[in-house]
Each structure stands twice: as C-alpha cells, then as structure tokens.
Amino acid sequence: MKYYIISGEASGDLHASNLMKSLKVEDSHAEFRFWGGDLMQAVGGTLVKHYRDLAFMGFAEVVMNLRTILSNIKYCKKDLLEYAPDVLILVDYPGFNLRIAEFAKKNGITVHYYISPQIWAWKENRISKIKRDVDQMYVILPFEKEFYEGKHKFPVHFVGHPLLDAIANRKPINPAKFAKDNGLNDKPIIALLPGSRKQEITKMLSVMLQMAPKFPDHQFVIAGAPSQELSFYMTFLKDENVAIVENKTYDLLSVSSAALVTSGTATLETALFKIPEVVCYKGNEISYQIGKRLVNVKYISLVNLILDKEVVTELIQDEFNETNLENELFKILDHKEREIMFDHYYELEQVLGGKGASANTAKLIIKYS
C-alpha cells in the first residue's frame, strides 16, 4: 500500500519512523511519502517537508507565522491528492493534522490517527472533528481510552506507549567510550534537555546553564537536537564545565546522573531511563497566560499526568529561575530523594503497559485499511 504520513515534531519523527519499520514488516510493498524528519527519512521513502520548518510553539508564535502555516496546509492538500495514498497516517500535531484529516475524509482517503491530540487537556471540542474525520484512532496513554470511549463514546485502540519500544530496542553503549568520543571527562553527568525549537531553547538553556558553576563536581552536557546547528548552541556557552552532544539524547540519558528537562515528551523519556529530573517550562508570556486559562490539567509533565501525582518537580514560568532550579537540582542529587523517584518510575513503567506499540499499530492500520 501507499502510505502518506504527517509528523510535525521531533518526537513524532521518532514514533513515525518506528511505525514505518513495523509497517514494512507487515506490508512488503509499503511505499511512504511523508512530512517528518531524519529518522523517517532513514527508513525510506520521500520526505516532503522537514519538521524543523513546521514547528511553531505558543499562541503568539502561531499568529506571527500564520501565513507560513496556511501555505504549508495548502501545499499538503495538493500533494496529498497528487500522491493518492491508500492510507493517511497522522501523528499528533493536531493544529495542522486535523485540518488535513477533514480534507482527506472529504476526498475519500482513509484517515488513521496515531498518538491522539491531547484534547483531554484542552480544546476538548475537537472531539466532534475527530469523530467526523478520523476512521481509526490509536492512543498511547492508558487514561485516553476511557476518555474517548467512556466520556465521548468514540471507540479507540490503546496500543501501549511507543517510547517503551524505542528505549528497549536501542543498542547499549559503553559509557567510557561515549565519554571519550564526545570529549567528556569522568565527572558525573547532568544532562540538559532544553527542547528542540529555537524559541524554547533560547528561553530554557540560559537558565539551565547557570547551574554549571554551582555544581563543579558534575559536568553539564547539552542534548543537541537534530533540528539545530551546533553553532546555535555555542552562542550560549560561557562555562568550561559544559559540553554538547549532538543527536544522541538517548545515549546521553543512559549515562547521566540527573537531568533538567523542558516540558514535553522528553520528560517521559528521561523517566523511562530512570534518570531523576526537574521539569522546566518558560514560554512567551502572552501565550502562557492564554494557555493557563484554557488548559485543563493539574500537571504539565507526562510523568505526573500519567501517575496523577507529583513525582517530578515542575518549575513553570516565573518559578523557573536560578534559585529554584538550584534547590531542586540539589534535591534530586540526594540519595534518598533519588530512591523515592526510582520507585515512582518503576510504577510508571507498569502503568504504561508492555512493549509493542509500533507493531500493534501497524497491524491494526493494515486490518482497517
């Protein structure tokens, strides 16, 4: 079959690439055309647009880039019709993807949605569009099935969380070799995960880097996103106790003692690597104030949302400052605090279910296409 896949972010690139691998196992004639990133491109097929050209974060940023976004939507619709796929697979990225779902449905293209938009957090009214335009929905968080089926009477498939596969299937590394290859010393590592978009990295990294001189017995290592150039990160560096590792976030987490993480999928990835973390978020003030009034959740990190309790500390907006970050980093380096967090992380793993999300989804997509 011919598959057209749309992913607009780094995390979606990861999950879509693993889904593509599973689809190739189930369908030896699979052909792919997609919007995504380097990981999807490595699997094979035709890359239409890279997610680095699609990611705009926050209300104000979306408004400022509205012309580009509308141009991308128009081009996507045209390209979709020209390719005439058997299946359209949408991966999260709801602002864009729900528009394409409506268009595809009107044009007789089967719509599969992998990784549900977080409408349980905000814009719950999108459920009407999902019911109308999505043929099959695949959810990856256990409470989402009850949300859709119990509250909104819309059947969905809970397939498990794909991060369990992504982490379990990675090749183990030699810590000493990793340190040598990346110019690191033998001090314990504190990983800095400031996000993947320029605007969020700019806001997050400058505060995170203020920790480096305060913890001289550790080395701080920035996880460079594949969508950003090394030169961009270099503009922030002033302390010799800081290094950068490009496009090796999982390897970095696997050898780290603690992490400072920008809110997003990375908070869950860090937890599944059993790394104590502080979750950080600071956005455009206008966007934040609008979002605070619209988003209906107790927590911003997936770890806390899934377990429905504060397992990892969240420093949000004004709380994300040098003093608070220093205090929280001291806490997660303490042995007793770490043991408590480890127990919660094991609980998290159990709640998410077992491995096999990509394979489960691929089989269901082929079954219902």
Tell whether 197 and 185 lie within a shared domain: yes
166 is a domain residue:
no
Tell whether 363 and 246 lie within a shared domain: no
Q: Which residue has the tokens 């409408």?
A: 119
Tell whether 10 and 153 lie within a shared domain: yes
Instruction: Name the E strands within the chain.
Output: 2-7, 31-36, 46-50, 87-91, 110-114, 136-139, 157-158, 189-193, 219-224, 242-246, 258-262, 277-281, 313-316
Cβ atoms of residues 325 and 340 within 8 Å: no
Beta bridge partners of 224: 246
Residues written for the chain: 369
DSSP, residue by residue, 163-206: HHHHHHTSPP--HHHHHHHTT--SSPEEEEE--SSHHHHHHHHH
pLDDT tens for the 369 residues of the chain, in order: 999 999 998 889 999 999 999 999 999 999 999 999 999 999 999 999 999 877 655 555 555 667 778 889 999 999 999 999 999 999 999 989 999 999 999 999 999 999 999 899 888 999 999 999 999 999 999 899 999 999 999 999 999 999 998 898 888 999 999 999 999 999 999 999 999 888 889 999 999 999 999 999 999 999 999 879 999 999 998 877 899 999 999 999 999 999 999 998 899 999 999 999 999 998 765 555 555 555 667 898 999 999 999 999 999 999 999 999 999 999 999 999 999 999 999 999 989 988 899 999 999 999 999
Tell whether 103 and 216 lie within a shared domain: no
Tell whether 156 and 220 lie within a shared domain: no
Our count of domains for the chain comes to 2
168 is a domain residue:
no
165 is a domain residue:
no
pLDDT of residue 289: 57
Tell whether 185 and 145 lie within a shared domain: no
pLDDT of residue 122: 81
Query: What's the token pair of residue 263?
Result: 């809110």
Tell whether 27 and 148 lie within a shared domain: yes
Residue 199 domain boundaries: 173-352
302 is a domain residue:
yes
pLDDT of residue 10: 83
Tell whether 211 and 144 lie within a shared domain: no
12 is a domain residue:
yes
Encoded amino acid at 78, one letter: K
239 is a domain residue:
yes
- Which residues contact residue 142 at a Cβ distance below 8 angstroms, ignoring those fewer than 6 apart? 158, 306, 351, 352, 353
Q: What is the CATH number of the domain that holds 93?
A: 3.40.50.2000
pLDDT tens by residue, 290-343:
555 556 678 989 999 999 999 999 999 999 999 999 999 999 999 999 999 999
110 is a domain residue:
yes
Tell whether 248 and 122 lie within a shared domain: no
Tell whether 183 and 125 lie within a shared domain: no
> What's the CA gap between 213 and 224, in Å, rounded?
20
Tell whether 148 and 183 lie within a shared domain: no
Cβ atoms of residues 234 and 311 within 8 Å: no
Q: Which residue has the tokens 């030699």?
A: 174
Tell whether 233 and 289 lie within a shared domain: yes
Cβ atoms of residues 1 and 33 within 8 Å: no
The backbone region for 274, taken as left when phi is positive above 0, alpha when psi lies in -120 to 50, beta otherwise, is left
